[in-house]
Chains A and B, each alone.
Chain A
Amino acid sequence: MTNKALSIAERTLLEPAGLEPSRLESIIGSILEAPVDLADIYLQYARSESWMLEDGIIKEGHHNIEQGFGIRAVCGDKTGFAYSDVIGFDTMMTAAANVRAIARHPADARQIVSVAKRTHRLYPATDPLHSLGNEDKIDLLRRLDQLARQSDPRVEQVIVSLAGTYEVILIATQEGALHADVRPLVRLNVSVIMVQNGRREQGSAGGGGRTDYRLFLEEGRAEGYVSEAIRQAQVNLEAGEAPAGSMTVVLGSGWPGVLLHEAIGHGLEGDFNRKGTSAFSGRIGEQVASPLCTVVDDGTLAGRRGSLNLDDEGTPTGHTVLIEKGMLKGYLHDRLNARLMNSAPTGNGRRESYAYAPIPRMTNTYMLAGPHTPEEIIASVEKGLYAKNFGGGQVDITSGKFVFSASEAYWIEHGRITRPVKGATLIGNGPDVLTRVSMVGNDLELDPGVGTCGKDGQSVPVGVGQPTLRVDGLTVGGTNV
C-alpha cells in the first residue's frame, strides 16, 4: 500500500490509543499461540455526513463517527470473531483471548496461497467531507431543488440528499504485514413527485463514487440527475398496466446489470460454493450462458463505488472472469474460502465494518460488450418488454431463482417501442437465464454509482453494468394477462 495511507491510518487509529504498530504484532502473536490457520486485526475509523433538502428547505443533516476494531481467528472452516468500539491494547487482548478459543482442534497443514503483490491507487486518500464548504453543499441542494421545480410545473415534491464518508482502515495480518487504505465515498440523490390529473408518480436518480463532492459539479452531473428523475416521473405518469407472463425482454444498459449481480454473481461467491449450497456448485467448466456472454467482477476500476485498493483482508482487488463466452470460469473468494477450496483469494473478502467478519462479496460486476447496436436489438423484437431501468433485486442461492424490479419499462411491438408500462418484478432462474441471451449490445455502460448489496446482514457498496441485452423468455410480473 501507499505509505501515505499507512501513515494516515497509524495517525488516525493507533496514535490516539497510544498503540505502536508492534503491539498489533504481539496481539496477533497471542492468537497464534493456539493452532490457528488465519488471524487478523481490522481497525476502522469512519466519519460520515448527510444533508437533506425537502419542501424547498434544508431540513436536516447528520454527522456520524464510528470507530473500532474486529479480531478474527480461523481454524479450518471455524471462525472466532470479536469486536469493540474501544480501541486499546487491553480490549484487544481480551478479544484475542476470546477468538483464540475457536482453535480447539489442531490446524490442518494447508498453506495460504500467497498472491502477487499489486498496488492500486484507484482513488485519492482524501477526506471528501472537506472537499466543499458547508455553504457550497447547501447551495448545491438548493440549486437542484429550484432546477427541478422550474423544469416541469407538475413537480410537487423534491427531495435532494447528499452524503459523504471518509473511511480509514488498517489491517494487521498473521504474516506480520500492515495494510492500510483511505476510502472516500460520496453520493447524491434526487427524488421528485409529479402530479397530473390526480395521478401521482415518483422518479429518482443519483450517482456517486470513491472520490469527493466535486464529482457532482463536473460535467453537469448533478443537473443530469434532476433531469433524469423528472424524465422517469414523466414516463410513469403515462404508463399503463404492465404485462404478465413469459416473454422476450430487452434489458437496458448500465444499472439493469443488477441482473448479473443477482442471477450470477451471488451464486459464484466462494462461501456458498465451498458449502455446496449454490445452484452453481461444482459447475466450473460448464456452459451456463450463451457464447455471447462474458461476465467479470472487477474491483480495480478507478473511482468506482464498488472499487477498493485492497479488500478488507488486505488482498489487492482483482479482475476476476466469472463467465467467459458462456462458460463458467471462476468463483469470488476471501482468504478462508480460497484456502479451503485450494485456490487463491481474489480480493473479494469484504465487511460492512469492524463489527463484522469478512465474507466473499462482489465489487463491480458487469458483462462485456457484444456486436449489436441497441437499435438493432429493439428492432429484432416482434412483441416484448423493454425494461430500461430497475430498482433492486434478490436471489435464492440454492434454488437459483432471482428477481429484479423494473422501474421504467415500455412495450415493444413490431420492432418499435410503443408505450410506457408500469414497473413490475421480473423473475428467472440464475443458472439458465443467460443461456437465453440472444443478442448483446455494443453499448456497455456501468451504473452511475448507486448500488448497495446486502448479505448476511452486511451492507457494502457495489457497482454493476452491462450492455443492452435481449433475453428470450423471462417471466414478467405485471397485472395484464
Chain B
Amino acid sequence: MEALETRLGPLEDKVALVLEQAKKLGASGAEAGAGLDEGLSVTSRMGEVETVEYHCDQSLGVTVYFGGRKGSASTSDLSEKSLRETVEAACVIARHANEDPCAGLPDKETLAIDIPDLDLNHPWQLSAEQAIELATACEQAALDYHQDIVNSEGATVNTHHGIRVLGNTLGFLHGYPASRHSLSCAVVGKRDDQMQRDYWYTVARDSSDLEAPEKVGLEAAQRTLSRLGARSLSTRQVPIIYAAEMATSLIGHFLAGVRGGNLYRKTSFLLDSLGKKILPDFVHIHEEPHIPKGIGSAPYDNEGVATYPHDLVREGIVASYILDSYSARKLGMQTTGNAGGVHNVLIDPGKLGRMQMLQEMGTGLLVTELMGHGINLVTGDYSRGAAGFWVEDGNIQYPVEEITIAGNLKDMLANLVSVGKDIDRRGNIRTGSIWLANMTVAGN
C-alpha cells in the first residue's frame, strides 16, 4: 500500500489538467477534487472467516463557474478522455443553470496557505490472514464471555488508506494521504425466549491506537447481556440521560440547526440564533480541526479554506454558525471553513461520571440506543424509538425497549442539566453522557 503516496504527484497533475481544461472551455473559475483509496475488510463469524473484501476506489469531481452559473460532474474513470468528458458535462450544466450572485470559488484570502501536518497517515501493513486472526480473537472474547451469548453477527476488521487532492483556479493545489482503521463486533444473546443484539467498535487513524480486540469483544458481550430481559415502560414524563455514545446525536442535531444550508433555506429550528442563548451557561461547544490523528481532523475544508479552532457555543450562547463560502454569502457572513462539514466538535465535560449522573438523577431513563429518524429540523420536533435502562434511586433497575422519547429540540437544549466526563472520543463529535430534563416517554 506504500505505493499510494507515490501517486500523489500524478493525481495532482490530473487535477491541474482538469482545471486547465475548464478554463479553456471558458469557465471563469473551477475547482476539482480527486481521491484514491485502498482497503481491506475482513469479517469473522462463529470462529471462522466469513468475508474477505479488497477495496480499491478512485474518483474525480469538478465544479465549474461561468460567472455565477454553476455546474458539476464526477467520474470513477480517470483516463484523459473521461476527464475531458467530465469537464464538458459540468460546463453543459453550468450553461443551463441560472446566474446566482452568491455562487463561486471561495475568497482567495480564506484559502489555506500553511498546511499543518496533522499526523493522519498511518498505513497498516495487515495481511488478510492477520486481519482474520484479529477479528477471530475479538469475536471469541465475546462468545466466551457468557453462556447466554449464543450467536454472533461477527467481528470485522477494516483498514483504509487513501490520498486526496484538491485544487482550484485561484492557485490552490494540495494533497495529502490519510488512513483509517476500525474493529467492530456484534453478538446475540438469548435468555428464555428473548434475543438481543448489541455491538461495540473502535476506530483510529493509527492501528496502535485501536482498543485491544478482546476489549472490544468483551464490551459487545456485556452490552448485549445487559439488554436481556428488556421490557417496555408505561407512558410517563421523566428526565433522560443519553449515554455518551448516543449523546453525540444530540450535538449532531444542534450542528444541523446552525449549518449554513439549513439557515439560508430557513429549514432550521435555530434561525437567527447567532448571539442568542440556546443552552445553559455552563455549555461550551467548540471545533478543533487540528487535533493530531483526529478522526475529523483536516487542514482545510472541501473548498480549500483554512480550518481553524473556534467556539460554536460559549456560555450557552451561539458563537458561530457552520458555513461554507456559498451559505456565508447568502447570509452576508464569512465562511467558517466548514465546506463538507465539521472537523472534531468537542463539548466541555462536567465533573460527574456516568454512574454519578445516574445517582444525581435518581429516577429516570438511561438511553443506550436510538432508532429511526423522527426529527423535524424545521420545527425542532423530536420523536425517536429508544432502548436503555430504567433507573430508580440512582441505580439501574432493568433494561427497557419498545419505547419512544419525544420533545422539542429547543426545549431539550435549553433544559440540558449536565454533561458527563465519560467522553466518547471515537468520532467526529466528542461528548460525555448528556442529562436532559423531563421528556415524554411513550410505551405500553
Contact = CB atoms under 8 A, between A and B. Distances in A.
A contact residues, range: 35 or more
Contacts of A84: 56
Contacts of A403: 371-372, 374, 384-385, 404
A134 B89 CA distance: 12
Contacts, number: 252
B197 A478 contact: no
Contacts of A481: 235-237, 440
Contact of A475 (B82, B93, B371, B403): B403
B24 interface: no
Nearest to A399: B196
Given A102-B49, A392-B373, A422-B381, A60 B71 contact: yes
B170 interface: no
Contacts of B387: 396, 399, 401
Nearest to A84: B56
Contact of B385 (A101, A244, A394, A423): A394
A98 B38 CA distance: 14
B86 interface: yes
Given A64-B73, A79-B51, A423 B374 contact: yes
Given A78-B49, A423-B383, A64 B371 contact: no
A54 B378 CA distance: 17
Interface in B23-73: 45, 48-59, 70-73
A66 B383 contact: no
Contacts of B70: 59-60
Contacts of B385: 394, 401-403, 425, 427, 477
Nearest to B52: A80
Given A59-B97, A475-B444, A399 B197 contact: yes
A59 B100 contact: yes
A365 B317 CA distance: 48
A398 interface: yes
A61 B93 contact: yes
A43 interface: no
Interface in A121-155: 134-135, 138
A291 interface: no
A328 interface: no
A246 B373 CA distance: 20
B219 interface: no
Given A78-B51, A403-B385, A477-B383, A64 B196 contact: no
B249 interface: no
Nearest to A135: B96
A201 B378 contact: yes
A477 B72 contact: no
B402 A398 contact: no
Contacts of B440: 244, 477-481
Q: Among A78, A428, A429, which residue has the most Cβ atoms of chain B within 10 A?
A: A78
A417 B52 CA distance: 55
A62 B72 contact: yes
A367 interface: no
Contacts of B267: 157, 193, 202
Contact of B76 (A65, A159, A479): A65
A279 interface: yes
A101 B384 contact: no
A39 to B, nearest CB: 14
A95 B372 contact: no
B280 interface: no
A398 B383 contact: no
A396 B376 contact: no
Interface of A: 49, 51, 54-55, 57-68, 77-85, 95, 98-99, 101-102, 134-135, 138, 156-157, 159, 193, 200-202, 242, 244-246, 275-277, 279, 355, 357, 391-394, 396-399, 401-405, 422-429, 475-481
Interface of B: 45, 48-59, 70-78, 82, 85-86, 89-90, 92-93, 96-100, 103, 128, 151-153, 188, 194-197, 227, 230, 232, 235-237, 265-267, 369, 371-374, 376, 378-379, 381, 383-385, 387, 401-408, 440-444
8 contacts: A61-B71, A61-B96, A62-B74, A65-B74, A68-B76, A200-B266, A391-B374, A403-B385
Query: 9 nearest interchain CB pairs?
Result: A477-B404, A403-B385, A403-B372, A425-B374, A57-B98, A398-B197, A61-B93, A244-B442, A82-B54
Given A80-B53, A425-B406, A429-B402, 15 more contacts: A62-B73, A66-B76, A79-B53, A392-B372, A394-B372, A396-B369, A398-B197, A402-B385, A403-B384, A422-B376, A425-B404, A426-B404, A477-B384, A479-B408, A481-B236
